[in-house]
Structure 1
């Protein structure tokens, strides 16, 4: 069953309360400020909402159709839950392959009265991701509106979605085991013909192993779990797929998974002549295989508009490449198909669209279509092994094959033996050093040296436009420009770039001070750090992928200029997650700072949260990231 059937509820009720007592003179007014304070009304103690029951049942019928039945009883306890979050349910589906019906939509009031929702409380809509894509305009989103809501009411909802025979080859689904509110009773049942291969995986949830029992010629997998805690949507939290997402499938093997993906996508990969012509024109301008490959990828990506329909909503199918190319609009999976076809047309034979699952997936042990939500393009690069590229932004970031697990991908076409996955052999890191002189006119002239390793290496960007990258790096100084850019060394996982730079310091303020801030290396760790975690945080904290980063700024000041910042040092270089040093020797001012991210997923336990918080606080401390320069009086007057 596709993984896109997740109920998102959002409902807005607008009403106006007119308080004559607060507006008309002469009526009694509270005298105390504390007494006049108004708190948000919440008629029922406890969380804003709570699932009394959340149940999913999947049935594989003899004709090959798969039925998914969802039943829930949700108690809404506050107007926040009613007006903003749980007033309606939304379910996306494909009417060409699925039949959808609402079985129950009613509200049980606190008084016990049952209010049935009217027939027009269920409407069809187009999924937002499909807007502007005529090839997938038949997709639908069912909106189930809940009525007669008040604090303490219970929404009783049930719906049934039936995949037609052949829509999916097996029972295959993902389900979020935990919700953003507490769940008193969580039930998942999978009903299969006896002897059907089946596996279920939820590594991050304790007690998540299914029960298995025989019922005549059927086997029932699953179980009931009680009093599950909420997993709220806190800032900086990982996707539920990385924490408490159940992946279940009756797919028998990774080979069967690859064959099925080939059956669904492989027939749609023939390149039309105009696509081939575009690829050849893009490739002939380049001198290297790296350049030709990226030029073709970028040319195809620039020629179509991408609509973010996930592979699951497509039932892991792609529209024919010729039709996609004619209309000029594609899903990410179809864009990967177009790019692979174009690359084959210019001589890259060992290339294929691939789908990747979450980092924790182990498709060789637990194969499943469900969870394959990230389309990529894979190419066998001779003895260098497999390379992975994002179809939408092929030149952005570092080598994906060094951060995406080879056990979490499956290709549309079999890759030849020399395309074995490559695992990281070099630790990931970035380093930027700037040494420059400051003139009396505040002009800065100097040199920058940038080094990168592992998946932090911007290999494609260095190939396609090193001057652009050098300009972004020089941007740590105000009004900076890079010139005479040289790529000194370049491998897939190791690179060095040098450039000359010029910049202009801002004018001194009224106090004669020039303020400079250096958060980190552009494009590095600083752009991916989460917010500071609260001590009572309930969800894990997602940090950047483990790596190191260092930044060193050395400025030689003109006569009369001094460092106004107090010299500061924190930690020790090479020891601990954060180190910085700010100081001066004569006219030479130095700021050095480094960070090491050792753990990507920080558990929501006090000691790990405290460690992560101290790391973030130290790295973001103004003392270690700012230079305060004092200009002489005559410079300040100018």
Structure 2
């Protein structure tokens, strides 16, 4: 019996050790290496090499069971240098030929013009707990397909990395601009035989966060931006020279038909935007997947689909064809002092100044695009290649102030009357009217509940009220928040308020919140207000922010209970 107890204790210790060692990650990259080489003839090579050890069944059967490599066989050649699995006992299992499966990339499925793209799926075989996957491949691009070195890499992987090596090889005559953000590693630069080799070696990187709303936009995610373009303008010029020229007769003819019989400029803008967004389907191929190329506008029109760049070209061309002065713009995913080029582009937009108002259109949505981060990631003009000064909206541009009166009719139903004031940045360009959500009335077993309505663009409709209690990363909110709702409910004689009168106010470093319920005779007054002091919150500030967001999203703070006789 004592011996069995010792065995049990020993097993529990082993389990504890295994949990400590592996509980935090499904796998671990022993080595990860990426090398970009620009040759003197203009050809480029990208080499990828990984050693990945598996710790869990999820890693083995799902997360890391396959690797995916997208390339363009018209201009690129894929070579698998080696692919095998070393099992825990040292047995080598080479990847068989039938485990290399070529498929069409998902984003090219509904885009016949891009059906020549390939995605190599490498199915890793011989997997078991403790096995290590080895994969080494090279993608070689023909001269001219990729004009320059253009790198934008988020450095954290889905599992920890023991050693991560990034290498860029360029001709000595080519200047390399780069930024390594949020990591202390320094570049090692060596020159030999007419080439310059720039290398970073990163060690013991943690796994990327699985928390929601984590991205390089938050300012604390490590990334490498590097390019041999002389400037952002030189890179953007590669795109702009593919855009249809201003005054294209075909686009002018189509634009005239779209705005026919429309007298107001706003109606003309709306017609062109709705055509581009609603009649031309969005294709999600990225700029680097298309080799930073785009089809002309007539191809997007005839096929009724386009990439973001193709639709931006079409939208700008139609606006110019209708007599407006439109200009394509770009924003970047992150702020970097040096090294941003085309792969770092976040979104392509089209600007148009009409009657003294700046319209900034997304080619993929009729909604007004967010512009609040332009102080850190400014707009760049594709035409000039330079940043464009855009006024950053103020808090007033995002304010919501609603006075809502709820009245019971004789039949027991509820009517809502709203006097609303909504900041212009929360409204679509071309739609007006009540954007509020209706009040919800539910009667059952002698009681009635009213769910208080709010504006459809209110912050409660965004999923920020249900975040984890702790956070290790910055949290960047999509916009400033300032909302005040005042409710007046006129109760009939057969109804009594059962929700306790409340006057809750929270003020902390993140902002302020008020939830109040008061009764005066047959009239119930409720107030809900939320104001957040800023958009970017650090982990140290997160606790107080979450307190406000959790209270704001709590259904109990938005529901009133009445008894019904």
- TM-score, normalised relative to structure 1: 0.79
SS in 2 for 1:466: coil
Q: Does 1:424 align with 2:381?
A: no
Correspondence for 1:521 among 452, 455, 476: 455
State the alpha-carbon separation in 1 of the partners of residues 83 and 217 from structure 2.
27
Q: Report what 1:476 is aligned to.
A: 438
Superposed CA offset, 1:497-535 (max 9, x none): xxxxxxxx44x211x221122374212212223364435
How many residues were matched structurally? Answer: 546
Correspondence for 1:51 among 6, 29, 36: 29
Q: Report what 1:97 is aligned to.
A: 75
Correspondence for 2:382 among 409, 412, 415: 412
Correspondence for 1:376 among 349, 353, 374: 349
Q: Does 1:354 align with 2:336?
A: no
Is contact 2:225-2:340 (8 Å) kept?
Answer: no
State the alpha-carbon separation in 2 of the partners of residues 527 and 310 from structure 1.
29
SS in 2 for 1:323: helix
Correspondence for 2:502 among 568, 584, 609: 568
Q: Report what 1:530 is aligned to.
A: 464
Residue 362 of structure 1 deviates from its aligned partner by 5.0
State the alpha-carbon separation in 1 of the partners of residues 246 and 145 from structure 2.
20
State the alpha-carbon separation in 2 of the partners of residues 144 and 629 from structure 1.
62
Q: Does 1:343 align with 2:278?
A: no
Is contact 2:487-2:525 (8 Å) kept?
Answer: yes
Q: Report what 1:600 is aligned to.
A: 535
Is contact 2:247-2:320 (8 Å) kept?
Answer: no
Correspondence for 1:248 among 198, 223, 226: 226
Is contact 1:176-1:240 (8 Å) kept?
Answer: no
Equivalence map 1:168-317=2 (5 Å): 168-203=146-181, 205-238=182-215, 243-263=221-241, 265-267=242-244, 273=250, 276-317=252-293
Q: Report what 2:117 is aligned to.
A: 139
CA spacing shift, 1:257–1:191, aligned 2, 3 Å: same
Q: Report what 1:24 is aligned to.
A: none
State the alpha-carbon separation in 1 of the partners of residues 470 and 373 from structure 2.
31
CA spacing shift, 1:79–1:106, aligned 2, 3 Å: same
State the alpha-carbon separation in 1 of the partners of residues 150 and 171 from structure 2.
15
Bigger mean CA offset, 58-67 vs 591-600 = 591-600
Correspondence for 2:479 among 526, 529, 545: 545
SS in 2 for 1:266: coil
CA spacing shift, 1:531–1:86, aligned 2, 3 Å: farther
State the alpha-carbon separation in 2 of the partners of residues 271 and 175 from structure 1.
37
Residue 433 of structure 1 deviates from its aligned partner by 2.1
Q: Report what 2:551 is aligned to.
A: 618
SS in 2 for 1:516: strand
Residue 98 of structure 1 deviates from its aligned partner by 2.1
Q: Give structure 2 stretches of 5+ with no counterpart.
A: 1-10
Q: Report what 1:19 is aligned to.
A: none
Q: Give structure 1 stretches of 5+ with no counterpart.
A: 1-34, 479-504, 634-638
Superposed CA offset, 1:106-144 (max 9, x none): 001111111111122112111111112111111111111
State the alpha-carbon separation in 2 of the partners of residues 289 and 362 from structure 1.
38
